[in-house]
Amino acid sequence: MEKSDKQEQRKNKFFNIKTFNVPLDLGEIKENTIITTNTSSNPSEEQIFDQAFKFQSQGKILEAAKCYQYLISQGIQDSRVFSNYAILLISFENFKEAERYFRKAIELNPDFVDAYFNLGNLLKDLNRIKEAEVFTRKAIQINPNSAVYHYNLANILKELDDFDKAQDSYERAIRLNPMYADSYYSLGLTLLAKNEHDKALKYFSKCFDLLRGSQKLDFDTLERFKKISKAKIDHDIQQFDYLSSLSIENRRFSELANLYRKISLEINWPSETEIIVLNERHQKLLYDNYNLSLNKVELSKLTKPALSNSIDVDKITMSYLNHESGVTYVDDLLSTEALDLLLKFLLESTIWFGIKPNGYLGAYLREGLANPLIIQIAEELRKKFPKIFKDHLLEQLWAFKYDSRAKNKESNIRGIKIHADQAAINVNFWITKNEANLNPTNGGLIVYHLEAPKEWDFKKFNGNDMAIQKELKATNYKSTVIPYKANRAVIFNSNLFHETDTYEFKEGYENRRINVTMLFGKRINA
């Protein structure tokens, strides 16, 4: 459930494109629709167009839609209108019509670069990869100096497993825009696929620096330095106190913990989990410390295997293959050394930037989680279980840290809700010590014996609770429940619906439940 990557990329998909916004289905226009403008009672087409753009910039999508519906109904032949009508249709998941209007925009203006680029994006999302490549290359032909265009072409080539050409395009995007963090991250993933791990880690590190450590960060405009929750600030206070207790920059982290405590008392929190925007005074107080890289443990690749030598490969492989849906688990996954080092890294590194609605926090490959040991673990897993992982490559990797207050009945803190993940194989393993777990019969993972329908997109199988419940109800919620145990990994078909089981962990920073998730392969190849 990698929302900080996949959903953020989707949300910003057209960010660098000039958009002029557009309407819904023409059939939705009502005869009494009134188009409001700030001009005369008989506005011109251009004035209506400007009004629609203003509506869009204010987030008033339906109002913008009415304006553009009117223009289209009047027979306007403006490529901007048709292109951006398509953009609006995408937001309403009317992909077929969106494609039609992009093509209409191109027909009206064969050099309309935005329409080519946006159509390429749409076709890629519809898994029509070769067609997406054609339109993206056309956009580059018209404008060869756009880092975004080269980046998108690289993503398409990566989907086609043409890693050498993808690398070339990512590098071109970086040359055109050295501050383009996404290019460094995606190039890192491409290099992992080519088994160039050391080089990949350098690009992940550069991405991390651009997102969380660079002095060139624009704190005033970036939302990630303004949003916070009670659960997030409580975690950070605990972590600062923990680092101070270890004599890691004792004075600095002690002062930060006290500052955060003071700010937390000044905020009228709506709940433990609701995400709010810091006021300007608090933003200034947290300007050089909140959601930034303040401490990071440096890890190296182990000279010996990171996986335990006690793993019964044949038994686990047969368990997975014989399960009706593809689910198994592995105890004592990591060697003692690897487990201890990874736990130290995740406790001491200030990389927990992802604020989640249920109160848990996320750490991501692109934002500091990447290190030689965790990549070593992923690679050893692939090689250890070839009949399970086949030729699936590592696609995503993240860690989640949970709040122990979830056991309190009055708390709205919870684990991850029911969802599926966009991959072929999912590995979910737990590293918090068993002593922290108050109830060894739960606290792990519930994996339902039902795959998300292949036609569902990421948004639907990760966020449409009603549709998911309807599907599960038909199967009587048949599932496999794997209780929590430190150093236990669950390996399963990533397209299966799953959720965090109820968990009861002790209070205290070191007792927070932590899991690591690795996704391998593409969902369409599951």
pLDDT, block means (10 residues), the chain with 526 residues: 42 37 35 35 78 79 82 87 84 90 96 96 95 98 98 97 98 97 97 95 96 70 87 99 98 98 98 96 93 96 98 98 97 99 99 96 97 98 97 96 94 94 96 98 97 84 86 92 99 96 98 98 74
pLDDT at 219: 60
Residue with tokens 């304006």: 67
Task: Output the pLDDT for position 218.
Answer: 63
Task: Return the pLDDT at 20.
Answer: 37
Homologous superfamily assigned to 313-525: q2cbj1_9rhob like domain (2.60.120.620)
Q: Which CATH class is domain 3-213?
A: mainly alpha
Query: pTM of the entire structure?
Result: 0.87
Both tokens of residue 433?
Answer: 């010590």
| pLDDT in the model for residue 8 | 39
CA-wise closest residue to 351 among 195, 507, 210, 212: 212
Rounded CA separation 100/80 (Å): 14
Distance separating alpha carbons of residues 285 and 228, to the nearest angstrom: 14
- Domain limits, the chain: 3-213, 223-285, 313-525
Contacts of 491 (CB under 8 A, 6+ apart): 316, 320, 327, 328, 329, 330, 385, 388, 425, 426, 427
Tell me the C-alpha distance between 168 and 298, whole Å: 30
